Structure 1
Amino acid sequence: MKRITDFIEQQSFGVCSAMGNRLGFSTRSVRLSFVYASFFTFGSPIVLYFALAFWMNMRRALRQQRSTVWDL
């Protein structure tokens, strides 16, 4: 079961695990909070999820940029 959830989380941008690690909560509790909030607010946390995924991918891309002209 753990491998399945890790695979799904890795394929779905890793937002819940990053938030859980940063805030000190378990990934499962963050994921469940997103699911419950989506049910109660008719899906509006999904917009937040995609915004966070976009932000995380932008930060990752900026970190991976070349630091000097001579890097290949």
Structure 2
Amino acid sequence: MNIFYKILLHFQKHGYYVCQRIADRLGIRAKVVRTSFIYLTFVTLGFGFALYLFLSFLMRVKDLVYTKRSSVFDL
């Protein structure tokens, strides 16, 4: 079980924070969103994981496109 927790800790530290950002947007706890993705993955045989990767990709693109600039000359 110790190796399982090390892997889990690695993904929590270096993840894309998809669940946290979705939870912040919806106003709920991130734990609820994480368990929902887990249940969705088991029920639909991998669709939840594919959805998670797709959302992480969209959030990454959004972060690259919509950066806050302090002035017009920061382009």
Normalising to structure 2: TM-score of the pair? 0.71
Task: Give the superposition deviation at 1:65.
Answer: 8.0
Distance 1:65 1:18 in 2: 17
Q: CA deviation at 1:14?
A: 0.8
| 1:30 and 2:33 correspond | yes
For structure 1, the 5+ residue unaligned runs are none
Gaps of 5+ in 2: 1-7
Q: Could you tell me which of 9, 12, 15 is aligned with 1:12?
A: 15
Deviation at 1:53, TM superposition (A): 0.5
What is the RMSD of the two structures over their aligned residues, measured on CA atoms? 2.4
In the alignment of these two chains, the number of paired residues is: 67
TM-score by length of 1: 0.74
1:1-72 pair list within 5 angstroms: 8-64=11-67, 68=72, 70-71=73-74
